[in-house]
Structure 1
Amino acid sequence: MTEKTQPPATGHLSAPADLPTQYTPAEVEGKLYERWVAAGYFAADASSEKPPYTIVIPPPNVTGSLHLGHAFEHTLIDALTRRKRMQGFETLWQPGMDHAGIATQNVVERELAKEGKSRHDLGREAFVERVWQWKAESGGQISGQMRRLGDGVDWSRERFTMDEGCSRAVQTIFKRLFDDGLIYRAERIINWCPRCLTAISDIEVEYQEDDGELVSIRYGEGEDSLVVATTRAETMLGDTAVAVHPEDERYAHLVGREIRLPLTDRSIPVVADPHVDPEFGTGAVKVTPAHDPNDFEIGRRHGLPQLTVMDEHAVITAHGPFQGLDRLEARSAVVGALRAEGRIVEEKRPYRHSVGHCSRCKTTIEPRLSMQWWVKVGPLAKAAGDAVRDGRVAIHPKEMSSRYFEWVDNLHDWCISRQLWWGHRIPVWYGPGGETVCVGPDEAPPSGEGWHQETDVLDTWFSSGLWPFSTLGWPEKTESLARFYPNSVLVTGYDILFFWVARMMMFGLYAMDGVPPFHTIALHGMVRDQFGKKMSKSFGNAVNPLDWMDAYGSDAVRFTLARGANPGVDVPIGEDWVQASRNFANKIWNATRFALLNGATAAGPLPPAEELSATDRWILSRLNSVVAETDAYYEDYQFAKLSDALFHFAWDEVFDWYVELTKTTFSAGGRPAEVSRRVLGEVLDVTLRLLHPVIPFVTEELWTTLTGGESVVVADWPADSGFRDREAESELETVRRLVTEVRRFRADQGLQPGQRVPAALGFEGAPALAGHEVAIRSLLRLQPAGEGFAATATLPVAGATVALDLSGAIDVEAERKRLTKDLAAAEKELAGTRAKLANEAFLSKAPDHVVEKIRTRRDAAEADIARIGAQLERLP
């Protein structure tokens, strides 16, 4: 059934102008971005009556520069906000940077080292001042790079996690949490970096496979001995027990007894604990509560002593021959001493195992018992889980929800203190009598002899966890906070779902009276190279996106990234894909330039439906379908699908078909040409607006030239008018199929694309195609069948017939010889593959993938034989 409605009567004032013959991104992008910023297009007005749409930027480190991960994430966020802005929302994309405590401190310390100094030479206050100086001079490089990419952020609202407002927010929420008993100080096991001399968060630990050694050691004597295995032999000096599973009968007689700890004058108990896996190794494990998180928990359950045997530099402090040795030196020395005592049962070298390293300095981290500040996450994590379970917050894609719940439902208390100088200093003062006072932002700290402030600073994730509301002025009740909180959506990588996202959820719900920080969490994957491998400098496959922007333009990089962005899935990307996207931008440029040179216009209403040709109705019907399709994909965060849909519509349907079909109409002139010029202008106007959020620069240059409008940034987002013409779509699909089939036949016959041949067309079985004969002949380079015409090949296609006279177009004998040779090769290939597949010995021994490959070759040979045979039959 044909569905027809009046096409939309929309359009803009036209101001056609000549475009350069080639698109040069470097000459366009910079000036356009500065014009957008100067015009205030990205500025958000808190007093506006428009519906709000808010997204915060995941704050990049102040030490950082734009990498492909940033470019990917920023492209998706920018596409969302540009579209919403065009839809009439008061849109805020909140920019800012993270102070990146440990990373920034390391950068400045390296600068000092070049001067032969350390931070201790300067002292705390002078060092912090030096960091601020570095930020002013060298920090924030990424801001300029964001401009290169086209980020439509509100620069007037740029924030920094250490600025005055964010610092006030940090002190306020710390005080509230402290007063509510949700922040406390305790001695626990933490990740310790002996190089950076600070506790670090789980996300700052990178695990990699290292070569080490697995040493099996006998504890105790004779029948009362046990064998334990360890990769960290030096920690045995701090063992305070050996643990076995309560139901392990092999060791039941030893539970509750003590055995001698080698190399020491101590005896330690054998305890039964369900944490031990009786199937792993010998089923007995050494317990070092001060140097292993699992051992710490076993120690707490059994009241074991906690012996610290290493200092903050990972140097052995235990009395004895190993005192003063670095942990790695001590490891070899301990193993040597155990070997001398005959305590080594087995040694495996090299032993490949996963080892945690500091992400900043690559030093092996050391689990260490340490007095630190903690957040009691139980009630906060429950609230964060409930907000997703009850539908206040949606996670997209939905399958990622289980990973979120797995995390928040099993969250351990969070170590928030860092032994650094750069960061938010913990607002706690200690008194001479052991007093502890937490001070809020409007309170004076205690003074007098003996009072001093806590020296630790807060984990960077503490302040970034406040980002959705601290950037809007909280704890003050600002107009911006009331207007733009909660955020509409958070766009971020699944890799920090547990760390940043969970913390924002906990803090947002706590600080904002149960209102979550965002309605939707849209998770994306990580950018990888074209082979799916993680990008890394050490792998030699890392890419600086600025290099690709310089070579191909920012639009090409953005479109490549968006076209690979399936929700929650990693994104492979290669330079050849960026080149293809550059070609797409050039195709858009050339097609629009052609349209302008041929009088296409976006001004005034569209002609009435009765004046539209089937070709015009087809493209307008398809246009509205694509508008609806694009909207649906945006609402589902399907960036890859929307980009692909727009690519194929623009390139395949508009540029390769509609533009080509209208060339004959333009040549004929008259009213049909005027109608098609207006339709082409409309199609380009809407297509450029649909493409703008993903490729903003080339679309801005072309749209303003085509329409004479102020800027596509503030143009209306296209709406689906409801116009559909299924008959026209079917008719044009038949035209396309006919042209495609005949083109394939021409290529099979060795005809050059521009070579003209005589042909007779018959439309008895497809009368609707008769109206397209001029266009069909033009597209297929077919001359009229004149005197002496003798059909040498006839093609029935889609109810029509195309009779061709190829007698003077090809060397028939040479073509027959070539095809005969190809046929012989295909028959030989078929015979060989069939012989292999008939060989039972081969089938029984060959791997499945090899057999499948042979079957594929057989099928291809059969298809080649059929194709070549048909070509030979069609030869004169």
Structure 2
Amino acid sequence: MELAKSFEPAAIEGRWYPTWEENGYFAAGLDTSKPADQSFCILLPPPNVTGTLHMGHGFNQTIMDALTRYYRMKGHNTLWQPGTDHAGIATQIVVERQLDAQGISRHDLGREKFLEKVWEWKEYSGGTITRQMRRLGTSPDWKRERFTMDAGLNKIVTESFVRLYKEGLIYRGKRLVNWDPKLHTAVSDLEVVQEEEDGFMWHIRYPLADGSATLTVATTRPETMLGDTAVMVHPEDERYKHLIGKLVKLPLTDREIPVIADAYVDMEFGTGVVKVTPAHDFNDYAVGQRHNLPLISILTLDGKINDHAPEKYRGLDRFDARKAVVADLEALGILEKTDKHKLKVPRGDRTGVVIEPMLTDQWFVAMSKPGEDGKSITEKALDVVQSGEIKFYPENWVNTYNQWLNNIQDWCISRQLWWGHQIPAWYGVNGEVFVAHNEEEARAQADAAGYAGQLTRDADVLDTWYSSALWPFSTLDWTPEYPAKSNPALDLYLPSSVLVTGFDIIFFWVARMVMMTKHITGKIPFKHVYVHGLIRDGEGQKMSKSKGNVLDPIDLIDGIGIEDLVKKRTFGLMNPKQAAQIEKKTRKEFPDGIPAFGTDALRFTFASLASPGRDIKFDLNRCEGYRNFCNKLWNATRFVLMNVEGHDLALEHSQAADGSCPATPGAAPLQFSFADRWIVSQLQRLEQEVAQYFTDYRFDLLAQAIYRFVWDEFCDWYVELAKVQINGSDDALARGARRTLVRVLETILRLAHPLLPFITEELWQTVAPIAGRKTHPSIMLAPYPEANPARIDPESEAKVERLKALISACRNLRGEMTISPSVKAPLVVAGDAAELAPHLPYLAALARLSEITVVDDLPADSLAPVAVAGETRLMLQVEIDVAAEKERLAKEIARLEGEISRASAKLGNESFVARAPAAVVEQEKKRLADFSATLEQLKPQLAKLGG
């Protein structure tokens, strides 16, 4: 296989991914003979079936794929379980909009016909995100792909609901929930966006029923006062203690409501008096439960005032009612004042309308009720983390997990939609409830209960997060008979190894998977939870269409022209001014569009950004840098191939554990230099680091380590050192260099494969046969490199570090004396001749020296500058322009003295030392030490020149 002259990622990606998938390389391992600790499983957080890949997906999936490829190469049974989520609200909205464009509503079609339309849409657009995942090089077992609405998962959803209902852990009740008045459904907290907006705080006087005084309350939602059932004060507030238990007249109504005392009130905020509307505020609802207050709902499900309010307001939209209420309060003279006020407004993320806390009949999972074993599902979820059975990485996210579970409310699992898992409950005409697997079973229950009337199925569906909570075992085809009846995948992969997720869904998904999996199967869903930050733009801003800062990972892979990028970013924006601003910003930021970086460069960028923290700033310059890294690796491979192909690499020599190659009878001699042993030693250290970074989920350090070794150690140093041996007269050393070059390169490719799948496969197919290591059809099936401590060679490492210092000293001298790179110069070295001897061939070649003379000491009368490398002193034997050199040294000394003065002043400033971060102070100390050391070298040189 001939290697192309340049790295063209598109051609490589288009060739290799189909090859991997068609040959079944992603298939789950089901070898039950392997030890339990050799099973690795990871679950894909199921993306929206009708969605598209965004930067968060790209980042998350790069990490998951790197782990999967790593453990696959380590020989583990490996499963990356893919699948998509039916995304109840999002998908239904898309299809309803399509129908709206035709002048049709879902109610015109009816439920059955509407669901047919949704399934048609799912089939049409459902594969978009999985096609994009393939472009990213991900390697899940596509043959095991699941969908949260497929028949198998639907059966498990129903089974779990029936089971939890029978255990008393699922119930139906009237509770306060987030309600979207446009969608006419309850929504989860995750589907509510809290946006800071300009509003008002209205101060209203509530008169005491006996007419003796008034109490002033402040509210941002005056229309809800129509549903007030109390006003409250703090029990220790001396201003109002005497009023507790009295009644006030609720303005605009004919009702009287009590003054109650509750510690929830903040005495320091406002007037210290708070109105209580239990049916329209979550905090008020809790107060109402404590004080047995009536719940008066004054809104219809579409956000209009209902018949529980005074007649004049009935039928008004809630915001029109607000205006009317304020006007009437003002007319009565009891609106004390109106202040401008910044407030958090909850809006539906899909509709943008203000979410209303609404009292409705819903289905709930009881989070704190003890089960048959005496523990609630919440307690079980807390226990498995506290015991260490489930571990979080980084560990601090345990606090977020615990805090939510320790303050948890019952989970509303019903949604007033048509698309989703329909709730398996049937009702009789008088409200009888029969929960069953199917209507036949419900009918049997009804007959047994003596009810012979008609049954009507509950029209609601389950919250999308309910079916997602079952993902760890439903995707593995769990059955109610488990564990007596099982299957190899369930045995091997429950619990899975690690869940890779963002911190924003620890509550909604992670905790719920733990609760449901532990309760239903008795097992934890996963052993580790790796929590990463969220991708933001280079300025730390959240990526959003309205800000025009969204990046599409596919555009970074393929590239996109500026015109197409502008169209993409402004598409669908109704506000022309906003569109113009986004266009201007885009053209300024990307005047030439976005170049094609290729998948590998993007993946390496994602990995390099995966450091602990909440936010990850995506810097496009990193993509550029890692594309250059891919080019560097490509060109280094071409160099190695050109220098080893057709040459004897002495592969017939067997290699001992310590890396030595004993003489093989009849074979050409082979010798490894200290440079060869050094790069192999460094490789072992890299392999140790890489293994640890995979274990610790430190993908940023993993990327850094591979980058540093490939670019700095292998390409910039070892390749240059190897050239000296290859071009030398010693055939044994040349063979050692060639063999080391190709063997180290082949190992690098396997090490980097989990992060850079495409380029490593392409290069490995050419390099591995020459290196004598092509025993697998694909690099992804080859064994992952493991460190051999016996091959770590501190002596050779010390020698190369000394050689680097000598070469760097010579290069600095050449730079100081402005000697052209094309000119070879003679060098005089003062040091131990025997100790320096092995270094001299490399030094001469890499420092561009015509000859090297080793002496006991440098001539005292020479005017040439001297460099120091450890205990060795070096001097180039070239003519010196004394006047120019004196001027140069004088300028440099003056600059250094200025830097020393500034650093000393900073460190002498007690305020700076006390307030500056410790790292900044240490950096300043190091600068001072470095400037001082350099100054001490230059002063004698200037003195020698008569300066």
**Same-fold call, TM > 0.5?**
yes
Summarize the Cα distance change of 1:751–1:346 in structure 2 as closer, same or farther, 3 Å threshold.
farther
Match of 1:405 in 2: 402
Deviations 1:787-838 (A, max 9, x none): xx97722323122232203427xx6655655665666677778889999999
- Partner amino acid, structure 1, of 2:358: R
Q: How far, CA to CA, are the matches of 1:377 and 1:582 in structure 2?
A: 50
The alpha carbon displacement at 1:748 in A equals: 3.5
2:321 aligned to 315, 324, 330, which one?
Answer: 330
Asked if residue 532 in structure 1 is aligned to residue 540 in structure 2, the reply is yes
Cα shift at 1:18: 3.7
CA contact (8 A) 2:382 2:405 kept: yes
Residue 319 (1) aligns with residue 310 (2): yes
Q: Matched residues in 2 for 1:566 and 1:862: separation?
A: 31
For the residue of structure 2 that corresponds to 1:807, the secondary structure is coil
Paired AA for residue 32 in structure 1? W
> Matches of 1:629 and 1:831 in 2, distance apart?
41
- Which whole-Å CA distance do the structure 1 matches of 2:711 and 2:332 have between them? 78
Q: Deviations over 1:479-501 (max 9, x none)?
A: 32223211111111121111101
Q: For residues 524 and 921 of structure 2, what CA distance do their matches in structure 1 show?
A: 57
The residue that corresponds to 2:850 in the other structure is: 783
Q: CA deviation at 1:635?
A: 1.1
The question of whether the paired residues in 1 share the 8 Å contact of 2:179 and 2:358 is answered with yes
Report the CA distance between 1:285 and its aligned residue: 0.8
Residue 694, structure 1, aligned to residue 755, structure 2: yes
Q: Distance in 1 between matches of 2:698 and 2:416?
A: 43
Number of matched pairs: 849
State the 1:186 CA deviation.
Answer: 0.6
The Cα of 1:323 is off from its aligned counterpart by 2.4
The 8 Å contact of residues 791 and 803 in structure 1, kept in 2 or not, is answered as: no
Query: What corresponds to 1:571 in structure 2?
Result: 616
Aligned to 1:184, the other structure's residue is in SS state strand
Q: Does 1:203 align with 2:190?
A: yes
Alignment of 1:441-452 (within 5 A): 444-446=441-443, 450-452=454-456
1:508 is aligned to 2:576: no
CA contact (8 A) 2:165 2:171 kept: yes
Corresponding residue for 2:591? none
Q: How far apart, CA to CA, are the structure 1 residues paired with 2:77 and 2:907? A: 66
Deviates more, 1:388-397 or 1:656-665: 388-397
**Which residue of the partner structure matches residue 128 of structure 1?**
115
Contact persistence 2:86–2:420 (CA under 8 A): yes
The answer to whether the 8 A contact 1:830-1:858 is kept is no
TM-score for the superposition, normalised by structure 2? 0.85
Distance 1:458 1:859 in 2: 62
Change (3 A) 1:603 1:471: farther
3-state SS, counterpart of residue 727 of structure 1: helix
Do residues 720 (structure 1) and 802 (structure 2) align? no
> Hey, what's the Cα distance between the residues in 2 that align with 1:162 and 1:324?
39
Other-structure match for 2:479: 475
| Alignment partner, residue 39 of structure 1 | 23
Residue 341 of structure 1, aligned match among 332, 337, 352: 332
Do residues 23 (structure 1) and 31 (structure 2) align? no
In structure 2, the CA distance between the partners of 1:660 and 1:826, relative to structure 1 (3 Å rule), is: closer
Q: Where does residue 424 of structure 2 map in the other structure?
A: 427
Match of 2:563 in 1: none
Q: Structure 1 pair 444/224, CA: closer, same or farther in 2 (3 Å)?
A: same
Unaligned runs of 5+ in 2: 369-375, 447-451, 481-485, 559-595, 663-670, 854-858
Q: Quick one: which amino acid aligns to residue 38 of structure 1?
A: E
Aligned counterparts of 1:151 and 1:516: Cα–Cα separation in 2: 26
What residue is the counterpart of 1:298 in the other structure?
287
Unaligned ranges ≥5, structure 1: 1-16
Deviation at 1:376, TM superposition (A): 0.4
CA contact (8 A) 1:703 1:712 kept: yes
Partners of 2:498 and 2:527 within 8 A in 1: yes
Q: CA deviation at 1:216?
A: 1.5
- Of 47-56 and 464-473, more deviation after overlay is shown by 47-56
Q: 1:745 to 1:170 in 2, by over 3 A?
A: same
Match of 1:149 in 2: 136
The residue that corresponds to 1:12 in the other structure is none
Q: 1:769 to 1:249 in 2, by over 3 A?
A: same
* Counterpart for residue 388 of structure 1: 385
Q: Partner residue of 2:588?
A: none
Q: Is the 8 A contact 2:903 2:927 kept in 1?
A: no
Partner Cα separation in structure 2 for residue 187 and residue 595 of structure 1:
73
Q: Is 1:747–2:815 an aligned residue pair?
A: yes
CA 1:441/1:683 → structure 2, altered by over 3 Å: closer, same or farther? Answer: farther
> In 1, distance between residues paired with 2:886 and 2:352?
68
What is the CA–CA distance in structure 2 between the aligned matches of 1:457 and 1:79, rounded to whole Å? 37
Tell me which amino acid in the other structure corresponds to 2:845: S
Distance 1:777 1:702 in 2: 32
Correspondence for 1:665? 725
The alpha carbon displacement at 1:854 in A equals 13
Moved more, 196-205 or 566-575: 566-575
Q: CA deviation at 1:276?
A: 1.8
Instruction: Name the CA distance, whole Å, in 1 between partners of 2:728 and 2:465.
Output: 67
CA distance in 1, matches of 2:557, 2:129: 15
- The one-letter code of the counterpart of 2:345 is V
Give the distance between the partners of 1:521 and 1:76, measured in 2 at CA: 13
CA shift at 1:769, angstroms?
3.2
Q: Which residue does 2:666 correspond to in 1? A: none
Q: Report 1:79-94 matches (<5 A).
A: 79-94=66-81
CA distance in 2, matches of 1:858, 1:445: 79
Distance 1:143 1:672 in 2: 51
Partner residue in 2 for 1:466? 470
User: Structure 2 vs 1, CA of residues 530 and 231 (structure 1 numbering), >3 Å: closer, same or farther?
Assistant: same
Aligned partners of 1:241 and 1:268 also within 8 Å: yes
Who is 2:672 aligned against?
Answer: 612
In the aligned structure 2, how far is the partner of 1:711 from the partner of 1:835?
61
Indicate the RMSD between aligned Cα atoms, in angstroms.
2.9
Which residue in the other structure is 2:565 paired with? Answer: none
- Identical-residue share of aligned pairs (%): 45
Instruction: State the Cα distance separating 1:752 from its structure 2 match.
Output: 4.1
Aligned equivalent of 2:226, options 237, 240, 257: 237
Confirm whether residue 541 of structure 1 aligns to residue 549 of structure 2: yes
Normalised by the length of structure 1, the TM-score is 0.91
CA distance in 2 between counterparts of 1:208 and 1:706 reads 56
| Matched AA of 1:560 | T
Measured after TM superposition, the shift of residue 755 of structure 1 is 4.1
Q: Assess if the C-alpha contact under 8 Å between 1:748 and 1:871 holds in 2.
A: no
One-letter amino acid matched to 2:337? E
Residue 13 (structure 1) aligns with: none
Do residues 278 (structure 1) and 267 (structure 2) align? yes
Of the three residues 143, 155, 158, the one matched with 2:145 is 158
User: In the TM superposition, what whole-angstrom CA distance separates every residue of 1:630-683 from its partner, at most 9, and x where no partner exists?
Assistant: 111111111111221121112111111111111110111511110111111221
- Contact 2:367–2:410 (CA<8 Å) still a contact in 1? yes
The separation in 2 between residues aligned to 1:681 and 1:270, in whole angstroms, is 85
Cα separation, 2, equivalents of 1:398 and 1:227: 47
Please, which of 105, 118, 133 is the counterpart of residue 105 of structure 2?
A: 118
Displacement of 1:86 after TM fit?
A: 0.8
1:752-783 alpha-carbon deviations (Å, 9 max, x no partner)? 4444322223441x743321211111111122
Residues of 2 paired with 1:735 and 1:33: CA distance?
A: 43
1:698 deviates by 0.9
Partners of 1:729 and 1:609 lie apart in 2 by 19
Q: Deviations over 1:153-194 (max 9, x none)?
A: 000000000000110010000000011111001111101111
Alignment partner, residue 867 of structure 2: 795
* 1:175–1:286 distance in 2 versus 1, CA, 3 Å: same
AA matched with 1:631: A
Aligned residues of 1:490 and 1:522 also touching (Cα < 8 A)? yes
- The answer on 1:493 being equivalent to 2:493 is no
| Secondary structure at 1:263 match in 2 | coil
Query: What's the CA shift for 1:691?
Result: 0.8
Aligned-partner Cα distance in 2 for 1:872–1:618 = 37
Contact 1:819 1:868 in 2 (8 A): no
Deviation (angstroms), 1:362: 2.0
> Residues 844, 700 of structure 1: CA spacing in aligned structure 2 closer, same or farther, 3 A cutoff?
closer
| Structure 1 pair 711–201 and aligned structure 2 pair: CA distance change class (3 A) | same
Does residue 183 of the first structure (1) align with residue 170 of the second (2)? yes
**Would the aligned equivalents of 1:827 and 1:861 in 2 still touch at CA under 8 Å?**
no
